[in-house]
Structure formats: structure tokens, C-alpha cells
Structure 1
Amino acid sequence: MASRWNWMKLSTELFLAGKTILKQFRSSLNDNSDDIHAKLMSRYDEAPDWWYTILFAVAFTLATIVCHFGDLMPWYHMFTAVTIAFVFVLPTGIVQAVTNQSIELSPITELIAGFLMPGKPIANVTFKTYGSITHHQALSLISDLKFGHYMKIPPRAIFVTQLTSTVVAGVVNYVSAVYLMDTVPHICTLENPNWKCPKANVFYSASIIWGAIGPAKILGTRSLYSPLLLGFLAGALLPIPTWLLTKKYPKTKWLKYIHFPIMLSATAIIPPASPGNYPSWLMVGFLFNCILLRCARSWWKRYAYVFSAAMDCGVGFSVLAIFFVFQNNGIYFPRWWGSGGPTGDGCPLSYANFSGIIPTERPMLTS
């Protein structure tokens, strides 16, 4: 589903925003000395290119060594993975900058790795990490640099901050993962529904589907799932009728609101997102971007983004508090339908087998 949605999104943006994207690309090649932000930022020294070059060389060398001596994947495939990220950064970055719609490379890297290294799930996820995650992190860095440009933060300070935070985050993530694996029994298994690890399970499932089994068997002509390939064609063609109608009837305003990638974008995160996530997203989005936007526009313009950041921070602090204060001491939230019921996701069929039969004895959330 994510693959077809990304294909649809790319097709839509090329049709609807193609001229704008091309215009922005051409303007980026010209001198922007008249831009007020560029004038103000000219007071600061730029981070020299050789900083980035040395950082890339060191990181690439270390990654190659780890892949080779860690038996993760053949070291020479690192060149292919990084090349994929390098080639797609510019076009997808322009699309994201103009349309605010990101395009992930996970399906592409998984597919390529499946053909390059069939039957090797670890190699598949390694290739995926160095391909798609490198692409994602590159766009994140560009986004941060853009934010710093508008906030008038010195480029060298941003570079040092990004590098430091990346190292710290890597160490903290590794230590946290080791701690949880050693202290939480049956973590990321069905025997412990309180710790399902949905993203990790999606990563694992992808390694089995694209690595162990391989795309040739999953999507082959004799495969049960071969019709899924038509999704790529549907994703590329579905936005075209809407684009043609907007060209033929430019005065019909409601046509511009028919945007298939946005309508179907939520499906790209299933899994790991569960149906229980969507009602809260819908209510908060409707409240802020419809009711408050119309009834309290001045408040919305001033506080909407600040409040959004505050909610993100609140979620982060709440997660820490809930884990260390409650769950780490064996105290769990009461079971009720609003919190997902006994299974934690509001879906009793999540433990059903292929025939829809739910086992009589299955793990339940601790109350």
C-alpha cells in the first residue's frame, strides 16, 4: 500500500505542481542575493563543503567496515544503496519543499535488495537502512538547515549541533534498546501485549517478505499477490482524471479539493498504525484546521504551530513518566474499550488465524 501511495503521490505532484517545482529548481541555481534572509545570513560563515565531505567519507568507511566484518551484507552494495539515496534527494526534496508531501524510498530499496540478495533478510534490512534512511536523514538535515536559515542561526552552529545530537541520540537509543531487551520479559512478542513493538515488527516482516522470500516469489506471475503490481499503475493513473477536470473546468473550486494522495496518505502508515490512532488524529485535526481556523483565525495564526510543538513535547514527557513511574513499577492503565480493550488495539481479530478463528487462550494486557 505504501508503495502504491508513493507512486500516486509522485504522479500527482508532477501533474499539479510540476511547473512550480521546475520554477523553484531553476531559481535555486540563480543568485539569491536580493533575498532578505540571504542578506542577513551572509553575516555568518558558511559551514565549508569539506566538513560535509570528511563526515561522509568517515561515515561511509565505517558503514562499509561494519557491513563486511559484521556479515550484514556484501560491502560493495553500500555504493548502490547510497547512490539511490543520492539520486532521489533532489527530486523528492523539491517535491517535499513545494507540496509538503514526503516520498519514502523504503519500498524501492526493499525491492532492489530483494533482487540483489535473495534469501538474505538481514542483508535486505541493512540495504534498506543505508538507502532509505540515509535519504530520509538527508532531507531532515536540509529541513533543519532551512529552519535555521529563517531563524538566523549560524550554519556552523547548526552543523555542530546536528552532529552532536546525532551521536548522542545514537548512544541513547542503543543503551535504551539494550536496557529494554534485558529488563522487559518477552518484549516484542505476542506473549507481552504491553510491548508489541509495532515498528520493529514491521521492519522484521519486511525483511521476511522482501529478503527471506523475495520479490520474485511474492510478486511473481504465479504468486497469489501478483495482482498487487497493478497498484503501481493505478497509483500513477488515478490522479490524471482530476488533473484533466481542473484544466477543463478551472472555475469549479471544489475540484481542487479532490486530492487522492492526501485522501489515501493515511494508509501508508498501516502498519504500524492501528485503527485506534485515527479518531484522535481526526478530532484534533478537525478542531484546529477547521473550527479554530474559521472561528478564531487570529489565535490560530499565532498559536497553532506552537501548540502543536507543545503537544509533541507533552507526548514525549508523558511517555517517559508513564514508563518510569508506572509501567516500570508494574502499574498499568485500567483496561477499557477506550484504551483498546484486552488486546490493546481495539481489535480482537488481531490474534485470529487465517480462518478468522480467535484462540481461546491468548495474551491479554495487564490491568
Structure 2
Amino acid sequence: MEKAEEVLSVSSQSSDEPIVINLEKKADLIIESTKEVSSSLRDEIAAQLFEKSREDKLNASTEDIEHVLDKIAEITEEEAIEIITFSLEHHKYDHNFPREVYKRLELLAEGSEAYPGDRETFDFDLKIEACLLANFSPYPEVRAVTEPGDDPSIPVETFRAYLLGITWTIISTGVNTFFYPRFPYIQLTSSVVQLLLYPCGKAMQLLPNWGFTIRGKRFSLNPGPWTFKEQMFATIMVNVSISGAYFVEYNVMAQKLNMFYGNNYINAGYQFLMTFSSQYFGIGLAGMMRRFVIYPVKQVWPTVLPTLALNKALLKSDLHTVANGWTITRYRFFLYCVGGMFLYYWIPGYLFTALSNFNWITWIAPNNFNLTIISGQGIGLGLNPLVSFDWNFMNNIYTNVISVPFWSYLQQCAGTLIGFFILLGMYYSNYMYTGYMLPNVNGALDNTANTYNVSRVLTNGLLDEAKYQAYSPPYYSAGFLLAYGTSFAMIPLSLMYVFFEEWRPMWEAAKDFYAGIRYRRGPFDNVKYDPFSASMAKYKEVPEWCYVLVSVISFALAIIALCVYPTNTKWWGLAIVGLIDIACIIPLGLIQGITGFQVGLWMLPEIVAGYMFPGNGVSNLILKMYGANIGQQADTYVSDQKMAHYARIPPRAIFRGQLISIFFQVLVAVGIVNWQMSNIKNLCAADNTEKFTCQSTKMIFTDTIMYGVIGPKRLFNRIYPVLKWSFFAGFMVGPFWWCIVKFFPRLRIINPTLVAGGMSYWAPYNLAYWVGGLYVSCFFNFFVRRKWLPWWQKYAYVMTSGFNAGMTLSAIVIFFSVLYHSRPLNWWGNEVSYAGIDGGNGRQTLLALPERGYFGFTKGEYP
């Protein structure tokens, strides 16, 4: 069927004027393909198409609307019914799929007799729903940031894209690695880097058009205007640096500095081997996860959508699209959000800081202990209906709270609220001596409620039993005990529930993965009704064996490091930790791809290492960080590859870009950390004048002492035996809840992993950090999304990216202009939040120390 030459014509006289659409030819095409419709209804169908183009489904650029309308004109009724039937089965328990759309599909599947309206309305709605499902996306949030078609001729891997990607990888890695040991931490976020990449890309258009041609393909310094795909490609390269190189940031300092383990063998060779290994192992795992967590349509990965939205706002013109009466472009709206937040953040960030930590309930009676414990946001549990006017505070749990589905965020909040009541019961009943400590402290304490001083129990880096008996066992606050217990339960819970709930698609993906290696079968051979996979099938795929080879080489580098250097860590311990990651990463990736919630693997490797190498803190540190890093990096690289999938970036381009970016990231990170250790005086000391106190490194070091030196046997069997039952509870809850939803399918929307995840966010977080985000999520992701979906699609992700960029830029300016060389602003609005008990003054614990001067087990009889 011949495509209409001019389907949509747009009035360009004023950006405030609505779209003017001439749909006569498109209506003729639809009438031609729908034989039952009389030609006298052409004008009516044209009017319907006009209204549909103004609704949420087609609120897009002229080209996007034209693409979808072409598909509507070409599709037959039989094809549409087949797509509807397939989608009903495929999205039956898909919580991200709009319920109102699902109900409409059910009516369409029943036929024109059951559908409200006349036959013509049924025919049109049937085709438009089928075309949106098969040729765009089932999800409004994905349609808002992507395009229904692809142009393979758009440049991607250009010289300028690589140059900017590598340059900003070096800059971002340098800045973020340098400030990582500092408290508070200053970071170049993804949204800020995107904002800086864009003018650099536009400036590259000034380069001369010099180049050469190989096999008919021209390579030029300046292939034309800076494109959306080039921007996405460079952004994905830079995102490698945003995720960090944890082995450098934690292990190198913890192993080399004398205040920690003081290992003299931590030279450049060891650092490069272990850091390259852990970073590249992650990308190897990410590639092997593609068929499981990237290519399936239901794997939305909502947290990557703001990045796509921002780049679309920067590169794609939407001058004439109308969203609930709003005609302002995304780009201009983004600039307004950046500028507004840049100016506004000076108020809660410097001028009136009480608006940030708005613990107004405690102001009523600052020295009331019980009131502070319940509602305080400093040492308390944060039960407060109005917690902050600071975007950073409201957005603290997630860097883009709007990117997390409302149903997911709500369940996590419910878990935090359940944890609040459990924590109250633990604290006021003095469960496991928690009444002698602050209720929500992060980390281990001794029997006088002070921070656990691990140096007092060590001799030559190993546990000294006599010193231990003379000092104290480690104790956990109620909040930390709850967080650890639920974290231990969450991993087996997640694995079991995903195994029971998603075993069919996992099994099919596993068979495809095997077939891809053995028979070189493409990942899109069996994909149905997925326009993104259909577009990506045009590009050459990266063979599975390439990712397997990267993982094998990475593992070999780590083995060399452990064998050459005196780490006292066996290679088979590393193999076991790697197998744990491989076993867990796909089920946990499935959860993150659907819900936006990341189940971390920080604790599992350190516990396993504690049992394998008791009394060896260095081994625990190496295996803990290696296991956690490759899991974290795998999730990061997977999310980047999902962005590439949405943006139709060729898989081999992303593979090359990520490999090159990791190389420069490691070089810069290792260099920065070693420069800091040689040049920053009193690095990691509590009295460091530049605030490079290494809080995260100290916490990791303490954890390795707890689980490596003191050991999980002592902790789990004698000090906190309840923790080992958390694993058992996690194994039981997963299949138990699966059985419940089998009998009550409507309860399937409740994901027990999300509820447990909310409970695990205690210490140092409290309820206050969730309440502000809940208001934002409820307003934008529930109310606005339902009532004004076109506005939400066009502006929501752009707004949150603009706010984040403006806040980050403002925080950097505030830090270097008034905080770095301290210029305090002393007045009531900056002091009231830190007055009274919530600010650390007066009575701090429920129970005073006993007369003997310490609580808990008796000295000399410590477990």
C-alpha cells in the first residue's frame, strides 16, 4: 500500500497554536483496508484520528504519529486480533501494563458485539491498540521517551562520539573518585554529564568534514549535526564512570593504609589486575544476561527512562506537540527546571537548612525523649507527615523517584512502615540490648554504645582472644539489626519467588542462550510483536562467546593477582563467590527490570567468605568487594544496554564503547586513589581538615572485621542467633506467597521482595526519607499519570532530570563558594533542626548503662 506523502502538516505560526492535521489521505487508507466501513464515514474517521493523535497514545512528534498511523492503515482485522490475544496472555500479570488498557483489550478480544460503540469505533480502536502494542510499546512511559521506528543510517560510532565519551569518562571518573572519600560526597551525576555533553556535541559540528572511505562507508570528523544516537552512545560510555570502581575506592585504601590493614604489597600491578578483573567480569555477566533481562518486553527497566527522556529533550524537537494544553518544548521546560532548582536549592541547602531536615514535631518539645524517638529525623525513626522541602531529601532513596513505578514505591514504603512498628517493639522491649543504644545507628557498637574500635581486638591483623574478652563483642542497634535481618532474608526470598513466578521465561531464555552459543542462533529469532527487537535484529549481534571470553579472562586476571601477591586468599574462594554472583544476578536482575528496585549482593559474599576463611579479614575484604562489585557492575552495564536497546544503538557499538570506557575508568581511578594516599595529609583520619574521612571505607573495613576476623559463626551462633533464621524465613516466604497468589491471583501485584526491601532500608534511613518521595510518587506517578497522561509522558522524566541537574550544580557552587572555606550562616532557621535530643543534646538512649559500666555479656565470658 502506497504511503501518504503528506499525512501530517503542522502550523508553524506560533508555538501556542495547536496541531493542525490533514488526515484525508490517511482516512482513505484506513477505509480502504477496512472494507466494512462506508466511504461516507471518511470525515468521521479523520476526526477520530485527530482526537487520538491528541490523546496519550499518540502524543508524540509528527514523524512518530505518522509512523503509527501508517501501521493502522496497513494492518488487517485478523492480524490485530492475533496481537490483542497474544498481549492479553503475555501481560496478564504485568504490573507495569496499564490496567485500563488491559480491560479495553479484553473487550476488544470479545468482538464488536461486546464492545461499547458502533462497528466503526470497534474497528478503529482494535487497530490502533494492536498497532501501539506491536509497533511502538505497550507502556506509556516507554512511548514517552522512545520512537516507534529506526533509521540505521543515523551516525553512532563517530570520532566525536568516542572523543567526548572518553573525555567525559576521564573527567567524571576523576571527580567522582577524588571526592568519594569525602563527607559529604560531591558527585557528577548522569543528568549533569548529559547536560554538559550536549553543548560539547554541538560544538563538534564546527570540525572540518575531513575523513576517508572504507568499503563504501565514509568516516568523517564531522558527519553532520550532532545526533540523538551519538548523544546516547557517549552518555552510555560516561555512565561507566558514574557507577564507580568499587575495588579501587574501598579495597586499595583499606588494604594499603596503615590505619586499616597496612598491606605493603598493594602495588600498581595488584591494583590494576584486581580492578580490571572486577570491572570487566561485570560486563561479561551483563552480556550473558541479555536474553533474560534486556530483550524481553516486560523488562521495562524504569530507572533508565529519565536518561532517555533528557537526551530526547536535548536532541529531539517537539515544538508543536500539545500535552493537556501545554505546548512548551521539553528542552525549554528542562532548562526552566534546572534554573529554578539551582536557585531554589540555596534556600534548604544554605539559607534555611531547617526546610531540608524539617523535624518540626520535635521543635514542640526538643528535650522530650519519646517524642524524638518516634518523630525525630536525626536520631529518631522519622514518623512525620511533613518531612522536608528539599528535593534532595525527598529524592534520597532513589536519584529519580519518578522513574520508580508507584506500585513498587508504595510497597517499599509499606515495608518501611511495618519495619517501624517492629523496630519500636524491639527498642522499647530492650530486645538484644538495643535499649542501651540509639535506635537507628548504622554499624557495630561496643558494650558502652560507642563505635566499635576493631583495633582493640587485633594483633597483626588477626583476632586476639584475650583483647576481645577484655574489650567487647560487637552489638547492633535495633534499626541495624532489622536491616541486616531483612537483607539476609531478602536474597533467598527473591531467588525463590522469582524461580517459582518466572521459571518459564527463564527456562526459554536459558535455552535461547545455549542455542546462541551452540548453533549461533540470534536472540531475536523467536521474538513476537516487539518493535525494538525487530529494529535491533538489523544490526550484528555480539556473540555470546565474546562475553563468556571476557568473563574468563577477567577471572584469570584475579587468579593471577591472588597467586602472585601474598593475600592469603585461595583462588577457589573467588570461584565460589563468582558462582554465587552468576546464580543470583539473573533473578535479581529480573526484579530490578520490572520494579526498579535493586537487591544488593553486598552481604552474601562476606558471610560466605567468613565461613570459608575464618579469622582472615583481608580475604573477607577481597571476596566481599569482588563479589559485590561484579554484581553491581553487571546491573549497571545491563541498564546501559537496555538504554541502548530502547535507543536502537547497535549492540557491537555498545560492546566496544563499554570496553574502552572501562579501560580509561580504571586507569584514572587507580591513579587518583594513589595520588590521594601520597599527597593528602591525614587521609581517612577523623580530623582531616578537608573532610576526607573515608566513612564508607571505614564501614567496609569494620564489616570485614565483623565477618572476617570475629566471624559469622560467633555472630550467628552466639551473639545474634536470630540472624541465621532470617535466611530460612526468606526461603519459606517465597514459595508460601507464590502458593497464596495461585489461589488469589489479584494479590500477585504484591511483591514480597519489595516489602522486605523497604524494611531493609533502616539504619541510617528512616521513615522521613520515604514520606517525601511517597508524596512525589503519588502525585506524579498516580494522580497526574492517570488524569493528565499526555503531560506526564512529555514532561515528568524531563522534570526530575532537570531538578537533579539543577540541585547538583547548586550544591557544587554552594560547597566551593561558602562551605569549603567555612562561612556559616548562624540563625534560628539553620540551628533549630539540631537543637534538643534530635540534634545530639541531652538524653540519647532508652536505658542508662548498668552500674558495672557496660551492658550485655559479662566480661571474660564473651561469646
- TM normalised by structure 1 equals 0.75
- Please report how far the alpha carbon of residue 21 of structure 1 lies from its aligned counterpart in structure 2 after TM superposition: 4.4
Matched, 1:303 2:798: no
Report the secondary structure of 1:66's partner residue: helix
Query: Structure 1 residue 210 and structure 2 residue 707: aligned?
Result: yes
Question: Which of 721, 732, 737 is residue 226 of structure 1 equivalent to?
Answer: 721
- Please give the alpha-carbon distance, in whole angstroms, between the structure 1 residues aligned to 2:816 and 2:648: 38
Residue identity matched to 1:293: R
* 1:71-107: CA deviation from partner (whole Å, max 9, x where unpaired): 4442513222222222323333334335544332222
Measured in 1, the distance between the counterparts of 2:532 and 2:777 equals 31
Q: How far off its partner does 1:65 sit?
A: 3.5
Between structure 1 and structure 2, the one with the greater Rg is: 2
**Amino acid corresponding to residue 611 of structure 2 in structure 1:** F
Q: How far does residue 69 in structure 1 lie from its aligned partner after superposition?
A: 4.4
Aligned residue in 2 for 1:115: 611
The 2-side partners of 1:351 and 1:19 are apart by: 49
For 1:32, the equivalent position in structure 2 comes to 526
State the Cα distance separating 1:242 from its structure 2 match: 5.6
For the 8 Å contact 1:25–1:94, the answer to whether it is kept is no
Residues 131-159 of structure 1 deviation map (CA, whole Å, 9 limit, x = unaligned):
22212222322232222122110112212
The 2-side partners of 1:333 and 1:200 are apart by 31
Matched, 1:44 2:526: no
In the alignment, the residues of structure 2 paired with residue 330 and residue 354 of structure 1 have an alpha-carbon distance, to the nearest angstrom, of 36
Superposition pairs of residues 232-247 of structure 1, within 5 angstroms = 232-238=727-733, 246-247=741-742
- What's the offset of the Cα at 1:126? 0.8
Does residue 505 of structure 2 align to residue 23 of structure 1? yes
Cα distance change on mapping 1:171 and 1:280 into 2, 3 Å: farther
Aligned residue type for 1:43: K
Counterpart contact for 1:114–1:214, Cα < 8 Å: yes
Distance verdict in 2 for CA 1:231–1:238, change over 3 Å: same
Instruction: Please state how far the C-alpha of 1:112 moved relative to its aligned partner.
Output: 0.9
Structure 1 residue 227 displacement after superposition: 1.8
Equivalent residue letter for 1:112: V
Q: 1:11 matched to which residue of 2?
A: 493
Q: Say which of 141, 152, 155 aligns to 2:637.
A: 141
Q: Which residue in 1 is equivalent to 2:777? A: 285
2:555 equivalent to 1:63: no
**In structure 1, what is the equivalent of residue 590 of structure 2?**
94
Choose from 104, 112, 131 the match for 2:600. 104
- For residue 165 of structure 1, what is the aligned residue in structure 2? 661
| Distance in 1 separating the partners of 2:560 and 2:701 | 23
- CA 1:27 to 1:323, structure 2 compared with 1: closer, same or farther past 3 Å? same
Change (3 A) 1:99 1:176: same
- Secondary structure at the aligned position of 2:719 is classed as coil
In structure 1, runs of 5+ residues without a counterpart are 358-367
**Mean Cα displacement is larger for which, 203-212 or 175-184?**
175-184
Identity of aligned residues (%): 23
How far apart, in 2, do the equivalents of 1:316 and 1:214 lie? 40
d(CA) in 2 for partners of 1:163, 1:340: 50
**Alignment correspondent of 1:328:** 820
Distance in 1 of aligned mates of 2:659 and 2:695: 28
Separation in 2, partners of 1:280, 1:305:
18
Residues 314, 82 of structure 1: alpha-carbon distance in 2 compared, 3 angstrom cutoff: farther
Once the two structures are overlaid, the 10-residue window that deviates more, 319-328 or 139-148, is 319-328
Shift of 1:113: 0.4
Structure with the bigger percentage of helix = 1
Q: Pick closer, same or farther for the CA change 1:300–1:346 going to 2, 3 Å.
A: farther
The one-letter code sitting in structure 1 at the alignment partner of 2:712 is P
Identify unmatched segments of 5+ residues in structure 2.
1-482, 513-524, 850-863
Aligned to 1:363: none
Task: State the Cα distance separating 1:197 from its structure 2 match.
Answer: 4.8
Matched, 1:74 2:569: yes
Aligned length: 351
Q: 2:531 is aligned with what amino acid?
A: I
Shift of 1:204: 2.3
State the TM-score, normalized to the length of structure 2. 0.36
Q: Deviations over 1:7-35 (max 9, x none)?
A: 34653674488344423541564532554
